[in-house]
A and B are shown apart, each in its own frame.
Chain A
Amino acid sequence: MLLAALILVPALGAVGAYGGGRATRHSVWLVAVAAIHLLMVTVAWVTAPAPMLDGWLALDALGLAVLSVVSVLFFVVATYAVGYLRRERARRAFATWLLAFLSAASLVAVSHHLALLWVGMEGTTLALAPLIFERRDRRSLEATWKYLVISSVGIALALLGTFFLATAQGDLRSGGLRPLVLEDLLTGAAQLHPAWLKAAFIFLLVGYGTKLGLAPMHTWKPDTYGEAPALVAALMAGGLTSCAFLGIARATQVTMAAGLAPFARPPLFIFGLLSLAVAAAFVIGQSDVKRLLAYSSVEHVGLLVLGLGLGGVGVYGSVLHLVNNALAKGLLFLAAGNVALAAGSERGGLLRTIPASGFLLLIGLFAVTGSPPFGMFLSELTILRAAWGNGHPWIAAVILVLLALIFIGIAVTILELLYGPDRSGARRERESWWLITGPAALALAAVVLGVSIPGPLQDLLARASAALGGAVP
């Protein structure tokens, strides 16, 4: 019941929130549904809900990790939206599309039927498209079109990969296994047809990798993150990426279970390292904060698949990185949103005109580049350790060099905004609590995860990592 409610409550909320155009109506629906969703996720932590629909909907550790990340981030974004909607006029379907995204993302997290997971994934793509077009100008139009076409082609290839996987299962009438259900794919992994399974893995990796924004399929990302409202970009960089990573993780899970790890690792390495390299090349000299953050997102999704490919403690690092990425990206995009809301803000002197948001941006800079004491330091260190320990010292070296370059690129731009010559001449602005509290909470969480990971979360991440064939450091 709980699993269905996680999908249906936001879906009904999406219907209820439509229309009006009055800001308070949007705010009330968003915050109320987000709070109920977060409450249901908390219940799921305590009670471990039973599978539904013949095992199509089930919640394992990995699914719960993604679900929690999405739910927490969505709640923060919903509270932020209250402040945002007081400043900016929203279209009538604004809250509807946001809630539709929450519903689709929940479906992705709880699906153990891989075709149903695809339906949810396509749902997340479509729900966010109208939000990118929120400003209705030429630039946002171009960004929406690129996002739609590239994501749609990617997700179509993932559907083909899903059908390949069904074909790899062969004739099921004798074995009593259910088609495309994760548990049965894992049980019968040894009988999967290797050629079809390999084709399925590649198509799923490229397809969901397009949604994840791995290089070289990342080209929609800077345009989309740059043009979408900041709170939508925060949801994409933290929530959508987590869902897409789950799709790749499921494909990897099945491929590894079939004993094809030597086949699966090289593509994961290549996409991961290429993403880091592309991010390093484009963050240097990037002056637009949101585009800068988009390339930083390309970097972090690259690290996610690298950790997955490295195996061992790398998988644990990867799952931990998923959580840290959502926190840091949420914090930075929301802080960047405050910068965009402030008048004349692109010209430096932020610590004087909007000190609280400026300070959050500074914290976000260190959180997202993996400096101690933030959580990302731990997860990046774990992935590096895995590369070093599993006999890939050159991968570890390449990662280190690229991370250093990316740190410099991000730091130069953000420090320029904060401490650069103050040419704006703008007066100090009053900052709304709604716009500060959410990102501040994310910053606090990022520090807590860097200092000590709470017991239950540690346990969850360990179980998720074990399901993907990883170890715990």
Chain B
Amino acid sequence: MGHLADLLLLLVLLSGFLILGTTRLTTCIRGVALQGGLLGLLPLALQPLPQWSAHTLGLAAGTILVKAIVLPWFLTWAIREAAVRREVEPRVGYIASMALGIVAVAAASAVATRLPVPGEHPILLLATSLSCVIMGLLVLATRAKALIQVVGYLMLENGIYVFGLTSVDRVPFLVEIGVLLDIFVGVFIMGIVVFHINREFDSLDSARLTELKD
């Protein structure tokens, strides 16, 4: 694995921090689109050029198409139709979110060095993966807007995707396409529900969804 892959992983982490620290919905979506694009390049960077297989190329192309282009475009469409561009109104402030993000990276790195990763796969890959998973859960738990929760879910999936790359030769292409398709449909349905939430409640705030309880 070359320096390029190291750089990409670092940028993946930074885009996570971008989402944690931003006040604008559009920046959140751009952040997760950037992360998706970086993840699409990652399988190419992990292998030297002559070893690129149809599998690697297909995975890279599919990831970039879904995670960097189609889904961000769809989410942007949803906020434009819903005409919301207000701030994100987090339950936990931006500075605190960033601080928790740093704790997440530290914890993930500590775990990554302890767990035995088989083969020649680097610890940085594992640390980035776990950091993204924790950051995604953080966004899901602390942001009130339904649309940002979708972004958090995408971050969580991105973290899992990075982990999947440690065993890319073991997970067959068919399964990867199935996973990608499931995520695509899932986010699509979520986007439609977000759209309806906005129409019904005049707000994308999932904290207002409180009619159902015991």
Size of the chain B interface, CB-CB below 8 angstroms: 41
Question: In the complex, A11→B186 CA distance in Å?
Answer: 18
Q: Do B167 and A163 touch (CB < 8 A)?
A: yes
Question: In the complex, A142→B171 CA distance in Å?
Answer: 36
Number of A-B contacts (CB under 8 A): 115
Question: In the complex, A291→B117 CA distance in Å?
Answer: 45
Question: In the complex, A148→B118 CA distance in Å?
Answer: 34
Binds B, one of A27-35, A167-175, A410-418: A167-175
Q: Do A153 and B214 touch (CB < 8 A)?
A: no
Closest to A142 in B: B209
One digit per residue, 1 when the CB lies within 8 angstroms of any chain B CB and 0 when it does not, for chain A 257-296 equals: 0000000000000000000000000100010000100000
The smallest beta-carbon distance between B126 and chain A, in angstroms, is 9
Q: Do A145 and B186 touch (CB < 8 A)?
A: no
The smallest beta-carbon distance between A98 and chain B, in angstroms, is 16
Q: Which residues of B contact A146 (CB under 8 A)?
A: 209, 212
Question: In the complex, A160→B129 CA distance in Å?
Answer: 10
Asked whether A149 is an interface residue with its Cβ less than 8 Å from the other chain, the reply is yes
Asked whether A144 is an interface residue with its Cβ less than 8 Å from the other chain, the reply is yes
Looking at the complex, which one of B118, B175, B190 makes contact with A115 (CB distance below 8 Å)? B175
Question: In the complex, A167→B196 CA distance in Å?
Answer: 41
Asked whether A45 is an interface residue with its Cβ less than 8 Å from the other chain, the reply is no
Asked whether A141 is an interface residue with its Cβ less than 8 Å from the other chain, the reply is yes
Q: Do A152 and B186 touch (CB < 8 A)?
A: yes
Given contacts A113-B175, A139-B212, contact A195 B115 (CB under 8 A): yes
One digit per residue, 1 when the CB lies within 8 angstroms of any chain B CB and 0 when it does not, for chain A 115-150 equals: 110110011011001100100111101111110110
The smallest beta-carbon distance between B158 and chain A, in angstroms, is 10
Find the residue from A137, A138, A222 having the highest chain B CB count within 10 A. A138
Q: Which residues of B contact A179 (CB under 8 A)?
A: 167, 170-171
Looking at the complex, which one of A122, A141, A142 makes contact with B182 (CB distance below 8 Å)? A122
Q: Do B153 and A152 touch (CB < 8 A)?
A: yes
Asked whether B50 is an interface residue with its Cβ less than 8 Å from the other chain, the reply is no
Q: Do B179 and A149 touch (CB < 8 A)?
A: no
Asked whether B140 is an interface residue with its Cβ less than 8 Å from the other chain, the reply is yes
Q: Do A138 and B211 touch (CB < 8 A)?
A: yes
Looking at the complex, which one of A126, A227, A291 makes contact with B189 (CB distance below 8 Å)? A126
Given contacts A113-B175, A163-B163, A163-B171, contact A141 B196 (CB under 8 A): yes
Q: Do A193 and B175 touch (CB < 8 A)?
A: no
Given contacts A139-B212, A156-B160, A226-B212, contact A119 B170 (CB under 8 A): no
Q: Do A145 and B146 touch (CB < 8 A)?
A: yes
Q: Which residues of B contact A196 (CB under 8 A)?
A: 115-116
Question: In the complex, A144→B189 CA distance in Å?
Answer: 10
Closest to B213 in A: A223
Closest to A104 in B: B182
Question: In the complex, A166→B197 CA distance in Å?
Answer: 39
The smallest beta-carbon distance between B69 and chain A, in angstroms, is 21
Looking at the complex, which one of A113, A126, A144 makes contact with B186 (CB distance below 8 Å)? A126
One digit per residue, 1 when the CB lies within 8 angstroms of any chain A CB and 0 when it does not, for chain B 133-150 equals: 100010010000010010
Q: Do A167 and B118 touch (CB < 8 A)?
A: yes
The smallest beta-carbon distance between A322 and chain B, in angstroms, is 25
Q: Which residues of B contact A435 (CB under 8 A)?
A: none
Q: Do B118 and A170 touch (CB < 8 A)?
A: yes
Q: Which residues of A contact B119 (CB under 8 A)?
A: 171
Asked whether A159 is an interface residue with its Cβ less than 8 Å from the other chain, the reply is yes
Asked whether A180 is an interface residue with its Cβ less than 8 Å from the other chain, the reply is yes
Q: Which residues of B contact A142 (CB under 8 A)?
A: 209-212
Q: Which chain B residues numbered 189 to 214 have a C-beta less than 8 Å away from chain A?
A: 189-190, 193, 196-197, 200-201, 206, 209-212, 214
Q: Which residues of A contact B178 (CB under 8 A)?
A: 115-116, 119
Closest to A138 in B: B200
Asked whether B14 is an interface residue with its Cβ less than 8 Å from the other chain, the reply is no
Q: Do B214 and A118 touch (CB < 8 A)?
A: no
Q: Which residues of A contact B163 (CB under 8 A)?
A: 160, 163
Asked whether B1 is an interface residue with its Cβ less than 8 Å from the other chain, the reply is no
Q: Do A291 and B160 touch (CB < 8 A)?
A: no
Given contacts A160-B160, A179-B170, A193-B118, contact A118 B179 (CB under 8 A): yes
The smallest beta-carbon distance between B189 and chain A, in angstroms, is 5
Asked whether B6 is an interface residue with its Cβ less than 8 Å from the other chain, the reply is no
Given contacts A118-B179, A153-B153, contact A133 B193 (CB under 8 A): yes
Q: Which residues of B contact A116 (CB under 8 A)?
A: 174-175, 178
Q: Do B156 and A115 touch (CB < 8 A)?
A: no
Asked whether B166 is an interface residue with its Cβ less than 8 Å from the other chain, the reply is yes
Asked whether B21 is an interface residue with its Cβ less than 8 Å from the other chain, the reply is no
Looking at the complex, which one of A145, A163, A291 makes contact with B209 (CB distance below 8 Å)? A145
Looking at the complex, which one of B116, B175, B182 makes contact with A126 (CB distance below 8 Å)? B182
Question: In the complex, A30→B190 CA distance in Å?
Answer: 26
Question: In the complex, A196→B119 CA distance in Å?
Answer: 14
Looking at the complex, which one of B118, B133, B160, B193 makes contact with A145 (CB distance below 8 Å)? B193
The smallest beta-carbon distance between B141 and chain A, in angstroms, is 10
Q: Which residues of A contact B182 (CB under 8 A)?
A: 119, 122-123, 126
Q: Do B149 and A149 touch (CB < 8 A)?
A: yes
The smallest beta-carbon distance between B116 and chain A, in angstroms, is 7
Q: Which residues of A contact B214 (CB under 8 A)?
A: 222, 282, 286, 291
Q: Which chain B residues numbered 18 to 45 have a C-beta less than 8 Å away from chain A?
A: none
Q: Which residues of A contact B118 (CB under 8 A)?
A: 167, 170-171, 193
Given contacts A122-B182, A170-B118, A195-B116, contact A156 B157 (CB under 8 A): yes
Question: In the complex, A223→B149 CA distance in Å?
Answer: 19
Q: Do A156 and B200 touch (CB < 8 A)?
A: no
Q: Which residues of A contact B146 (CB under 8 A)?
A: 145
The smallest beta-carbon distance between A359 and chain B, in angstroms, is 29
The 6 closest A-B pairs by CB, nearest first: A119-B178, A179-B170, A122-B182, A142-B209, A115-B175, A223-B212
Q: What would 19 more interface pairs be, CB under 8 Å, given A130-B189, A142-B210, A167-B118? A: A113-B175, A118-B179, A122-B182, A126-B189, A129-B189, A138-B211, A141-B197, A146-B209, A149-B149, A149-B190, A152-B186, A153-B140, A153-B153, A160-B163, A166-B167, A167-B117, A167-B166, A169-B170, A193-B116
Q: Could you give 13 example pairs across A and B, Cβ below 8 Å?
A: A118-B179, A119-B182, A125-B186, A130-B189, A141-B196, A141-B209, A146-B209, A149-B140, A156-B160, A166-B167, A169-B170, A196-B115, A282-B214
